[in-house]
Amino acid sequence: MTKPTPPPAMIKPFAVIRAQPGAGGQPYTGVDLLDPFRGARGLPLRPKASEPAAPAKKTREEIAHLYEVGRTSAAMSFHELALETMQEVTRLAPDHAAAWRGYADLLRLAGKDVEAAEADARATEVPADAWPVAIGERAADKLERLDRKMRKRVEKRPVEQRMTWLREHLFGNPLDVAAMRYLSDQEHQAQEDLHTAETLLERALELSPAYLDVREDYARLLVTKRDQLGAYRETAILLAAKPASFEFRLKRGEAAVYLERFDEAVALYEALLKDEPQHLGVLNAYGSLMKTLGRREAAERTFRTMLRIRPSSGHGYLGLSDLRSNHLNEDDVADMMQHLAAGIPELLSRKCMAYALGQTLERMKEYEGAFEAYAFAAKVCKEEVENTESAHDPDEFEERMARMRRTYTASVMSARMEGPPANPPTTPIFVLGMPRAGSTLVEQILASHPEVEGTRELPSVGSVTKRIAISRLLVAPDVYPERVPNYSREELHALGEDVLRDIAVFRHSTLPYVIDKRPWNWIDIPFLALALPQSRFIDIRRMPMAAGFAMFKQMLPHDAAFTYDLTHLGRYYRNYVTQMDYFKTIMPGRVLHVRYEDLVDNADAEIRRMLDYCGLPFDERCLRFWETERAVLTPSAEQVRKPIYRGALEQWKNFEPWLGPLKESLGDLANT
């Protein structure tokens, strides 16, 4: 099934717009999709031209089946077919409330908001229970048998035919939850379409909530999408069904850490380690949690235990290295070099060890060897994301930034910007910029103020902008940011409240100020300024060569894939500076720019300036930020537990002989 070429974007489309089956793609012969309720459940296919035409009136069974075809078509991302199907259901059954609601949702995807509102109104005018809700298989033992049977049917077919067969099968059998599970896996693994993989699993769980294999797949997918809150909720259901499950308890612990339910996570990990004291995954998670909580000795013991169990454990070495002290010695260096030379099959362990080796050699002032290790690690990371949705394309990113500038013009912003509301219950402070530029330090300083709650790098803004991006799937696969200026002020405020509601999930207080330090929020400053007029933006910026090298030598997640290549890194940084300069012109005074070097050299004045910008009274505790006890989940956790020091300002110069590609790519910014 061919997919249309999406518009250039920094973030590739979150979902696909699929052509109608049989129209320009692979044909579907088993079901007549123009009359999709036929050819299933014993119903005849549409008669040939020589046969008499079928009567116009449909039975309740046929209409009910047509509705389910529409629901499953939408889950498979065949939205045009789903729209036509739901329209037909509402014509045949004007009292079908669920069909009207489904029709309204699909009309919104087509950009037909007026018609969608009318469909929603029709849904409220008819009895809610006129049509029964379809359910799938609910018995766990039968679901296991269905799953095994479907697996065998899928595995009989050549790999290249499996997706087509599963789609065709579901058009004829729209309640087959096992087929949904295996198609979801195909969408995820073969097509890298996480959106469709997710909607298929949600459809299966809606029909068969007891399908634990699907729920486990769903929890795993949510973790992949970094929806740890969703994963946390799903693991509660999984554990209710199988409270002794080792894997379910481990997933619950991982989600609990992300949501800062640390006591729960500690209890889960310690119980798991009693069951399996040598489980490397649990040991790594437990050691990382001890580091987060500042329990350095427990963290060191745990990582050393990992190395005793598996001497080639890259996670164990990186955990010790991240403690930012001399926990690794020359013997460890020799062992790491030997393991890397021999080859470590597991990619993640291999790159962890390479980063740990680089950090250790750097502390030993063996800079050439350290750079070789960092470059090797970056090469492994870049190969990992190559030809995937996570790969960084500098041209796409530049076009994305250009789209932002074309959308958020000075006239648009001046017409839509509002002053902050009086005494808002929550004022978000977005600490943003490049990774490794000092955002954790700024957060720790501000979170030491009695009116400010620090959190972490939150997914909240990204969740809302992704929802905007796919809100017109029948028009285009990505309508962010272009749709934002078309929202009314009431709609923008509602989106802002969505951001705050998502942030609230990660909060532990009701203090009036809250920090989100996700670096990439700088991209969405204009949207946030319109949706949350009371918001504050602090752009912490470090000397470009220092910031660039700091990113290059740190194992960052795939949404920072530009850091795996020095040339890409410099080009990305230039785009960041260009965009922030543009924001100054379209919304003057809304962003506070702080130089990391100024913060180090003149902490008192810079801290007072940040507090004044946020509208906060000065508090001495902000000057003694390292005394503030709070969990820190970023790589800078160890640094912010100490007073400000100048040691990191010039570190990059030790590697200057090998940073030519970065300096060249930065251009005139390299010396700023």
The domain ranges of the chain are 60-125, 394-413+423-671
DSSP letters, 93-117, are -TT-HHHHHHHHHHHHHTT-HHHHH
CA angle 194, 197, 203 (to 5 degrees): 140
**For residue 202, what pLDDT is reported?**
98
Identify the bridge partners of residue 427 per DSSP, sorted by sequence position.
Answer: 513
Integer Cα distance of 224 and 91 in angstroms: 40
Question: What's the DSSP call for residue 402?
Answer: H
Question: Which of 99, 73, 87 is closest to 19 using CA atoms?
Answer: 73
Name the pLDDT band for 352 (thresholds 50, 70, 90). very high
Q: State the chain's mean pLDDT as an integer.
A: 89
**More confident call, 282 vs 49:** 282
Q: Left, alpha or beta for 197 (phi > 0: left; psi -120 to 50: alpha)? A: alpha
pTM of the predicted structure, to 2 decimals: 0.86
Host H or E run for residue 514 = strand 513-516
Report pLDDT digits (tens) over 615-624: 999 999 999 8
Name the pLDDT band for 1 (thresholds 50, 70, 90). very low
Residue 391 CA, distance from chain mean position: 15
Alpha helices in 7-78 (DSSP H): 60-75
Report pLDDT digits (tens) over 420-453: 888 899 999 999 999 999 999 999 999 999 999 9
Q: Name the packing angle between helices 330-342 and 347-363 (round to 10°).
A: 150
Integer Cα distance of 295 and 291 in angstroms: 6
Question: What's the DSSP call for residue 4?
Answer: P
Report pLDDT digits (tens) over 361-384: 999 999 999 999 999 999 999 999
**For residue 73, what pLDDT is reported?**
97
Amino acid letter for position 221: L
Q: How many residues does the chain have?
A: 672
What's the rounded mean pLDDT across residues 524-548? 97
Integer Cα distance of 582 and 661 in angstroms: 26
**For residue 224, what pLDDT is reported?**
86
Residue 29 clears pLDDT 90, i.e. is over it? no
**More confident call, 70 vs 324:** 70
**For residue 260, what pLDDT is reported?**
87
**For residue 631, what pLDDT is reported?**
52
Report pLDDT digits (tens) over 570-619: 999 999 999 999 999 999 999 999 999 999 999 999 999 999 999 999 99
User: Coil, strand, or helix at residue 298?
Assistant: helix
Name the pLDDT band for 648 (thresholds 50, 70, 90). low
Q: What is the CA radius of gyration of the chain?
A: 27
Spatial contact of 15 and 77, defined as CB atoms under 8 Å apart: yes
Fold of 394-413+423-671: Rossmann fold (3.40.50)
**For residue 643, what pLDDT is reported?**
60
Q: Give me the sheet containing 427-433, strands edge to edge.
A: 452-453, 513-516, 427-433, 536-541, 591-595
| Least confident span in 14-23, 338-347, 364-373, 447-456 | 14-23
Residue 520 clears pLDDT 90, i.e. is over it? yes
Sequence-distant (≥ 6) Cβ neighbours of residue 421 within 8 angstroms = 533, 534
Q: Left, alpha or beta for 33 (phi > 0: left; psi -120 to 50: alpha)? A: alpha
Sequence-distant (≥ 6) Cβ neighbours of residue 46 within 8 angstroms = 32, 34, 35, 38, 54
Helix and strand numbers, DSSP H then E, in the chain: 29, 5
State whether the Cα torsion 258-233-528-474 is positive or negative. Answer: positive
Q: Which phi and psi (to 5°) does residue 433 adopt?
A: 135, -145
What's the rounded mean pLDDT across residues 231-238? 95
Q: Which phi and psi (to 5°) does residue 200 adopt?
A: -65, -45
Spatial contact of 621 and 604, defined as CB atoms under 8 Å apart: no
For the beta carbon of residue 617, count every other beta carbon within 10 angstroms: 9
Report pLDDT digits (tens) over 170-224: 999 999 999 999 999 999 988 788 999 999 999 999 999 999 999 999 999 998 8
**For residue 26, what pLDDT is reported?**
44
Question: What's the DSSP call for residue 428?
Answer: E
**For residue 33, what pLDDT is reported?**
46
Sequence-distant (≥ 6) Cβ neighbours of residue 596 within 8 angstroms = 437, 438, 441, 540, 541, 542, 543
Residue 64 has, within 13 A of its CA and on its CB side, a CA count of 11
What the block records as the tokens of 213 is 């294999």
Residue 57 CA, distance from chain mean position: 47
Sequence-distant (≥ 6) Cβ neighbours of residue 158 within 8 angstroms = none
**For residue 265, what pLDDT is reported?**
97
Name the pLDDT band for 331 (thresholds 50, 70, 90). very high
Identify the bridge partners of residue 594 per DSSP, sorted by sequence position.
Answer: 540
Identify the bridge partners of residue 431 per DSSP, sorted by sequence position.
Answer: 538
User: Coil, strand, or helix at residue 419?
Assistant: coil
Identify the bridge partners of residue 515 per DSSP, sorted by sequence position.
Answer: 429
Assigned superfamily of 60-125: Tetratricopeptide repeat domain (1.25.40.10)
Long-range CB pairs of 398-401 (<8 Å, 24+ gap) are: 398/571, 398/575, 399/7, 399/8, 399/9, 400/8, 400/9, 400/10, 400/11, 401/10, 401/523, 401/575, 401/578, 401/579
Integer Cα distance of 652 and 672 in angstroms: 14
**For residue 629, what pLDDT is reported?**
66
**For residue 34, what pLDDT is reported?**
44
Integer Cα distance of 457 and 328 in angstroms: 29
Integer Cα distance of 134 and 382 in angstroms: 46
Place of tokens 């036509």: 84
Residue 566 clears pLDDT 50, i.e. is over it? yes
Q: Which phi and psi (to 5°) does residue 239 adopt?
A: -70, -30
**For residue 226, what pLDDT is reported?**
82
Residue 6 clears pLDDT 50, i.e. is over it? no
Residue 21 clears pLDDT 70, i.e. is over it? no
The DSSP bridge pattern shows strands 536-541 and 427-433 to be parallel
**For residue 325, what pLDDT is reported?**
75
